[in-house]
C-alpha cells in the first residue's frame, strides 16, 4: 500500500563554514506515524528541524512539508505544523490560560474557539487545576505539558517535538511519551520527535532514523535497525549446551569459515559477522544436544546505543 510522505527532504544540507551540520539528508516521514530522529547531542537534529520549519536556510537541497517547499511556503507550513522546541518559552508572569490565549490570538482564532480549546487542552494535559497560576511557578514537567497544549492550540496536522523528555523525571517522561503516542493514535497526527534518548523513543516510534554527525545512517522500524546500522560488525552468541564435545565444536565451526568458537565446560561463545543462530539451533536439534540458554548480541538496540549514543563511542568517534 502506498503511503503519503508529509515530510520529505532531498539532499538537504547545512554548512556553517567548514562544519557540515546536516549532510545530504534524504528522508520521508509518512502520514499518521511517529518518527524518531535519534542521535547524540550535536548530531544535527535541531538544525534539521529549523530547516523544516523555515527558520534557517539550507545550504543546498530541498525540504517539503505537505507538498510545500520550506524555503518559500513558510506561512502555509506554519498553519499546519505545531513546533515545540527543546526549551519551551512562556511568559512566566502570565497564567497558563493567558499564555494559551495569547497563542490562540497569534494564530487568528476567534474568542469562543480559543476559550473552548484552552479548557479542552488544559484538561487533556492535566493542568486544569493550575491553569490560573502563573507559569513561573510551574515545574519543568508542567511547562512541558503546557508546551504540548500550546502546540495544539492551532490544531496542527503535523507536530515537531525537539527533545520533549529532556530534563524530566521518570513520571514526567512516561506522561510525555503517553501524550505523544495519543496524539498519533487518537488524533491521527503525524509526529516527528527528535531525541538523544534512544531507549525512550523505542516505546512510541513507528520508525526511527539514526542521525550521526549530520548523516542519516539508517531509517526504519527499530526491530530492523541493528542489521542496517551495524551490518558487518561481529555478532556474539553465548549459549549453555549439554554436552559440549569436539563434535559440537566441529559442527559449529563448519557453518562458515569466519565462525570462531570458544568453549568452557557447558558454556560456548560463538563469534561471526553473519547471522548463524538458525544453523546452530538446527545442529543442536539434529544431534540431540540440550540447549539450556542462548543469547545473541551485537546488533540490537543496546549495541546501537553503546556504539553511537553513550560514553567513549560518542566522544571518540561521533561527537562534533
Model pLDDT for residues 63-98, shown as the tens digit of each residue: 999 999 999 999 999 999 999 998 888 999 999 999
Return the percentage of the chain with pLDDT > 90, whole number.
79
Same domain, 202 and 121: yes
- Between 267 and 2, whose confidence is greater? 267
- Predicted confidence at residue 291, as pLDDT, reads 96
How far is residue 148's CA from residue 175's CA, in Å, rounded to a whole number? 11
Residue percentage of the chain with pLDDT more than 70 = 96
CATH code, domain with 244: 3.30.70.100
> Which CATH number fits the domain that encloses residue 78?
3.40.50.300
| Shared domain check, 107 and 20 | yes
1 pLDDT higher than 70: no
Give the single-character DSSP code of 109. Answer: -
pLDDT at 282: 96
Task: Give residue 313's pLDDT.
Answer: 41
pLDDT, average across residues 51-61: 95
C-alpha cell of residue 248: 559440537
Residue 209 Cα distances to 124, 194, 200, 202, 215, angstroms: 29, 10, 14, 11, 10
The whole-model pTM stands at 0.82
Mean pLDDT to the nearest integer, 34-47: 93
- Judge if 165 and 257 occupy the same domain: no
Q: How many domains does the chain have?
A: 2
Higher pLDDT, 51 or 234: 51
122 plus 260 within the same structural domain: no
Mean pLDDT of the chain: 91
Do both 19 and 34 map to the same domain? Answer: yes
Of 307 and 236, the one with more pLDDT? 236
- In this predicted structure, the answer to whether residue 316 has a pLDDT above a threshold of 60 is no
- To which residue does cell 538544525 refer? 47
pLDDT digits (tens, 9 = 90+) for 179-225: 999 999 999 999 999 999 888 998 999 999 999 999 998 899 887 88
Q: CB burial class (10 A; 0-12, 13-18, 19+) of residue 13?
A: middle
Taking residues 160-189, what's their average pLDDT? 93
Q: How many CB atoms lie within 10 A of CB 21?
A: 22
Q: Write out the residue range of the structural domain in which residue 248 sits.
A: 235-297
- Element spanning 211, H or E: strand 207-212
Amino acid at each position: 500500500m502506498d503511503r503519503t510522505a508529509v515530510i520529505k527532504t532531498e539532499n538537504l544540507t547545512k554548512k556553517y563554514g567548514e562544519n557540515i551540520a546536516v549532510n545530504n539528508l534524504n528522508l520521508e516521514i509518512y502520514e499518521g506515524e511517529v518518527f524518531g530522529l535519534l542521535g547524540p547531542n550535536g548530531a544535527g537534529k535541531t538544525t534539521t528541524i529549523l530547516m523544516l520549519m523555515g527558520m534557517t536556510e539550507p545550504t543546498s537541497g530541498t525540504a517539503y512539508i505537505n507538498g510545500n517547499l520550506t524555503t518559500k511556503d513558510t506561512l502555509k507550513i506554519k498553519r499546519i505544523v505545531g513546533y515545540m522546541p527543546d526549551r519551551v518559552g512562556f511568559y512566566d508572569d502570565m497564567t497558563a490560560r493567558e499564555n494559551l490565549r495569547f497563542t490562540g490570538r497569534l494564530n487568528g482564532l476567534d474568542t469562543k474557539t480559543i476559550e473552548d480549546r484552552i479548557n479542552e487542552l488544559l484538561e487533556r494535559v492535566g493542568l486544569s487545576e493550575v491553569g490560573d497560576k502563573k507559569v513561573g511557578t510551574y515545574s519543568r514537567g508542567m511547562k512541558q505539558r503546557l508546551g504540548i497544549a500550546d502546540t495544539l492550540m492551532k490544531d496542527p496536522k503535523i507536530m515537531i517535538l525537539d527533545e520533549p523528555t529532556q530534563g524530566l523525571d521518570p513520571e514526567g517522561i512516561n506522561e510525555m511519551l503517553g501524550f505523544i503516542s495519543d496524539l498519533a493514535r487518537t488524533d491521527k497526527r503525524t509526529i516527528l520527535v527528535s531525541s538523544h534518548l534512544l531507549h525512550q523513543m523505542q516505546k512510541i516510534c513507528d520508525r526511527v532514523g539514526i542521525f550521526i554527525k549530520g548523516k542519516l545512517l539508517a531509517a526504519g522500524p527499530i526491530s530492523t535497525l541493528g542489521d542496517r546500522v551495524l551490518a558487518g560488525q561481529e555478532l556474539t552468541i553465548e549459549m549453555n549446551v549439554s554436552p559440549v564435545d569436539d563434535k559440537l565444536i566441529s559442527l559449529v565451526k563448519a557453518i562458515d569459515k569466519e565462525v570462531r568458537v570458544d568453549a568452557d565446560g557447558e558454556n560456548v561463545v560463538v563469534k561471526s559477522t553473519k547471522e548463524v543462530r538458525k544453523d546452530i539451533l538446527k545442529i543442536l536439534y539434529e544431534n540431540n544436544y540440550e540447549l539450556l540458554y542462548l543469547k545473541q548480541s551485537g546488533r540490537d538496540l543496546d549495541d546501537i546505543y553503546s556504539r553511537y549514543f553513550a560514553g567513549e563511542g560518542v566522544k571518540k568517534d561521533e561527537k562534533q
